[in-house]
Structure 1
Amino acid sequence: MTDFSAELISGSGRSNWIRLRTIIMVRWIAVCGQLIALIIAQRMFALELEYGLCFLAIGISVIGNLIAMFVFPENKLLSETENSFMILFDLLQLCFLLFLTGGLHNPFSILVLGPITISASVLSVRSTIVMATIAIVLVTLMLWFHMPLRTEQRFILRMPDVFVYGSWVAIVIAILFSAVYSRRVVTEMASMSQALAATQMALAREQKLTDLGGVVAAAAHELGTPLATIKLTSSELMDELDEIEDKPHLYEDAELIRDQANRCREILHSMGRAGKDDLHVRQAPLTTVIEDAAEPHMESGIDIHFERAKSQNPDDQPPSILRRPEIIHGLRNLIQNAVQFARANVWVESSWTDETITLRIMDDGKGYPSHLIGRIGDPFVRKRRSDRERKQRPGYEGMGLGLFIAKTLLERSGAELSFANGSDGYLPSRDTASPTGAIVEVIWPRELIDAEASRTTSALGENPKITG
């Protein structure tokens, strides 16, 4: 995980994304709501309140907003400290209004949750803890210290003590629950957003590699004519220079030009053939696609075995499937994960029926930790590797996103994935190799990836004649 991703998920990165304009707009809404509440209390219910102090508190918010609007640009991004002070100011202003209007006897005391929820969503954990602590202290003080609510006849409106203390307990619990819940939800959203972005980058990279074949084929085709012209011209020069005996070096230069032109044609011919294969052959046998996915890990020091399921008929030819980038990259990540945690062997077992195509990727490692089985495929969930394992295969460190990317890409192609352990991988190793570690099963409905059944597959047809 990069430092930027860690900051984003922890909250320190998100706090710098809040614009001053957003805070100003939210504060204007709060000011309007407070003014409406005071006007209704005065005109409709004739409550005797300290309206002068109440309007003073609201006026301070108005002045603060006006200063922010005229002094700072509206697109200013607030820092962690600036955001903390802005939210703290709103919390203190709200609690002061509640102090003037009955404290916890005021039904609007539940609005204390607003600043805490915002803090948990955009600020760091430390700032949120500080904000929640201040809110709980202020709410507790308002139990005993507040201006009473009086009617026009000077009657005091107050709830029974049991309800007041019940409101205090409810608000404190709501503050804690709201902070934890908002923090958890926003953290998971940030984590998922980063993981999906990484998935899109991986798929785009695989797609570019696929499209590169078309570029190579086009380049080989376009450069063929000028190279043929160079070869023809150099051959004619050699015929003419062969008759001139006093300038042998010119003949050698012409011969060198022809030989290099021939070499370029051979290189472009091989590249063009590979490019056309990659561009035009959009389908391949299942076993070939599996081998292509595993090819980058064949030299990792782990033996990768390609097998058919025991129930599979040996004479039954593997189906031809679509060579989609998401399928190849997803399988490659699953095989990489197996190679990373295997002791010595990885098995890729394939089987197919008329309805489904199934792959099982197994290893002889320790398997998935039992407490993470239900979370396999979530982003940034991984078991830290020991120093000994890092030294054995230093190239396989990973970002904790491999399984998530594989699961997302393969499910996009229509597959269903399940994760399990073959046995207790933490038992002493045996002499015979067997798939005792992690098992990943990938099942596709055959009609979704079978090249013959897919509607997206069509014949290439005959090559058009070149005229002109």
Structure 2
Amino acid sequence: MAHVPLSDYAYAPAVNDPVRLRTLTLIRWVAIAGQALALLAVHYGFGFDVPLGPAFAVVAASLLLNLIVLTGHPTPVRLGVRSAAAFLAFDILQLAALLYLTGGLENPFSFLLLAPVAVSATILTIRSTIALCVLSIACITILAIWHFPLPWTAGGFSVPQVYVLGIWIALAIGILFFAIYTWRVAEEARRMSSALAASQLALAREQQLAALGGLAAAAAHELGSPLGTIAVASGEIARELSPDSPMYDDVQLLISETSRCRDILAELSDRSEDGDDTVSPFVLLPVHALVQAAAVRHEAENVAFDLSATAGPSEDPAAEPVVARSPEIIHGLGTIIQNAAQFARDRVEINTQWDREFIRVHIRDDGPGFAAGLLERLGEPYISSRKRSTGHMGLGIFIARTLLQRSGGAIAFRNDSEGGAAVDIVWRRDTLENPDVESGG
């Protein structure tokens, strides 16, 4: 089974087009209704002089665009980044035109220019959001200088220019703040979603390997009997044929290929009995063997693995726990061990301990330890002490922590007092010995 590097598929966006066209048109319908009601209320309700003709022409432009979109795309459509940015840019310009006719920044609804920027920061790229921020700030700058008078009574209403400048500064800061804050929160959510998807992919791969191992063991058992029958029958035929017979070579080939098949099946059976890590996940084994299965795939020539297993204190003797072969634990421990081996100078110590209540696994390397300031953030997605140029995306530890916590374990990272990095994983014994018990992770 070919192994596809996790980085090849875990970080690509699941959907290239970030937003539904229907979502943007629905938001625009709400804006159209609100703008029309506000214009009518100010003109007829408060009796202020509003240029209804030009103002409703601007609202009609937005209405017309929505109708064109609905007739041109009757089925659900997702917009690409550029198309979505263009839609939001139109909304900014349409609202700016309406504000131009109704008092500019003196209009209390000028704060609505923040909305398209916030939407962009949530769903679009940082480049598109920056472009919309620039467009919004350009619009409020123009509106601060040029605009129709604010609709008011016959005596008029004059806002000091200093106050208008304050509104401009507040809106500019608001645009930048909302863009940065909203984008940061949305980016964290996107990265967490991507990291969790990578965790699911890693777990699915372990489960597939375990399932393939179980199928291989079953095939070795089921095919042994018919292959034995074929071998006996072909041997009988070979004894009845003379070496000069035209079928003799074919029968000998059949015998040799049958023997080869039996050797392959015997090897599969031996792997199952020796505890290979592709055996069915429902096989029970001692906990130290589970840790060994996680470590064996990451052994390196230049790093020695020191595996040890110890029971609890003498006053509390306990038999070694027998646990299910869990793909989550095997992959999670394997990732921690692999990380230790990559940073170790010569040695990685892996100690498994148990007593009547807990099962503990301590992993320690003799490397430089965790980088300063990294310990508090270890386990977060995309956090790595290595340079990004190596292709490492900082997801390994996050995936390991997620899978181990899913199995009911608690994980802690620290720098050992004797040097090197250390990782401690602890489970309640009954959680691993009774997989049906709800885990606390």
TM-score, normalising length from structure 1?
0.81
**How many angstroms apart in 2 are the aligned matches of 1:4 and 1:237?**
54
Cα distance change of structure 1 residues 340 and 407 upon mapping to structure 2, 3 Å threshold: same
Equivalenced residue count is 427
8 A Cα contact 1:352 1:358, kept in partner: yes
**Greater relative contact order (Cα < 8 A, sep 6+):** 1
Deviations 1:251-302 (A, max 9, x none): 5643553454344234324424645873386221121111110111213421
1:428 corresponds to: none
2:209 corresponds to: 209
**How many angstroms apart in 1 are the aligned matches of 2:26 and 2:80?**
18
Q: Which sits farther off after the overlay, 263-272 or 159-168?
A: 159-168
Which residue, out of 369, 374, 377, partners 1:375? 377
Q: Which sits farther off after the overlay, 215-224 or 180-189?
A: 215-224
Cα distance change of structure 1 residues 81 and 34 upon mapping to structure 2, 3 Å threshold: same
1:150-299 to 2 correspondences below 5 Å: 150-151=151-152, 153-157=153-157, 164-241=164-241, 247=244, 250-251=247-248, 253-272=250-269, 274-275=271-272, 278-279=279-280, 282-299=283-300
Secondary structure of the residue aligned to 1:146 is coil
2:3 corresponds to: none
**How many angstroms apart in 1 are the aligned matches of 2:59 and 2:173?**
28
2:407 corresponds to: 413
> Which amino acid in 1 is paired with 2:424?
E
8 A Cα contact 1:103 1:142, kept in partner: yes
TM-score, normalising length from structure 2?
0.85
Cα distance change of structure 1 residues 309 and 366 upon mapping to structure 2, 3 Å threshold: farther
1:87 corresponds to: 88
Cα distance change of structure 1 residues 183 and 6 upon mapping to structure 2, 3 Å threshold: farther
> Which amino acid in 1 is paired with 2:176?
L
> Which amino acid in 2 is paired with 1:332?
G
Deviations 1:329-353 (A, max 9, x none): 0000001111111222111122222
Cα distance change of structure 1 residues 266 and 85 upon mapping to structure 2, 3 Å threshold: closer
**How many angstroms apart in 2 are the aligned matches of 1:252 and 1:93?**
87
Deviations 1:391-415 (A, max 9, x none): xxxxxx6432110110110010111
Identity %: 38
Quote how far apart the aligned CAs of 1:322 are. Answer: 2.3
8 A Cα contact 1:419 1:439, kept in partner: yes
Cα distance change of structure 1 residues 92 and 15 upon mapping to structure 2, 3 Å threshold: farther
1:348 aligns with 2:363: no
Q: Which sits farther off after the overlay, 66-75 or 91-100?
A: 66-75
**How many angstroms apart in 1 are the aligned matches of 2:265 and 2:87?**
64
Secondary structure of the residue aligned to 1:359 is strand
8 A Cα contact 1:307 1:348, kept in partner: yes
Secondary structure of the residue aligned to 2:340 is helix
Secondary structure of the residue aligned to 2:413 is strand
Q: Which sits farther off after the overlay, 84-93 or 249-258?
A: 249-258
Deviations 1:46-88 (A, max 9, x none): 2211111110111111222233334457545434333332211
> Which amino acid in 2 is paired with 1:102?
G
1:307 aligns with 2:290: no
Secondary structure of the residue aligned to 1:279 is coil
2:432 corresponds to: 449
Secondary structure of the residue aligned to 1:149 is coil
Quote how far apart the aligned CAs of 1:158 are. Answer: 5.9
**How many angstroms apart in 1 are the aligned matches of 2:173 and 2:64?**
33
> Which amino acid in 2 is paired with 1:173?
I
**How many angstroms apart in 2 are the aligned matches of 1:188 and 1:126?**
17
> Which amino acid in 2 is paired with 1:63?
L
Cα distance change of structure 1 residues 448 and 4 upon mapping to structure 2, 3 Å threshold: closer
2:122 corresponds to: 121
Q: Which sits farther off after the overlay, 49-58 or 299-308?
A: 299-308
**How many angstroms apart in 2 are the aligned matches of 1:306 and 1:240?**
57
**How many angstroms apart in 2 are the aligned matches of 1:280 and 1:179?**
48
Quote how far apart the aligned CAs of 1:320 are. Answer: 1.9
**How many angstroms apart in 1 are the aligned matches of 2:116 and 2:377?**
32
8 A Cα contact 1:105 1:158, kept in partner: no
**How many angstroms apart in 2 are the aligned matches of 1:454 and 1:78?**
45
> Which amino acid in 1 is paired with 2:204?
A
Quote how far apart the aligned CAs of 1:163 are. Answer: 6.0
8 A Cα contact 2:311 2:355, kept in partner: no
1:45 corresponds to: 46
Cα distance change of structure 1 residues 14 and 246 upon mapping to structure 2, 3 Å threshold: closer
**How many angstroms apart in 1 are the aligned matches of 2:10 and 2:201?**
15
2:331 corresponds to: 329
Identify unmatched segments of 5+ residues in structure 1: 391-396, 424-434, 457-468
> Which amino acid in 2 is paired with 1:356?
F
> Which amino acid in 1 is paired with 2:129?
T
8 A Cα contact 1:327 1:410, kept in partner: yes
Deviations 1:30-61 (A, max 9, x none): 21221122222233222211111110111111
Cα distance change of structure 1 residues 146 and 128 upon mapping to structure 2, 3 Å threshold: same
**How many angstroms apart in 2 are the aligned matches of 1:212 and 1:299?**
25
> Which amino acid in 2 is paired with 1:236?
E
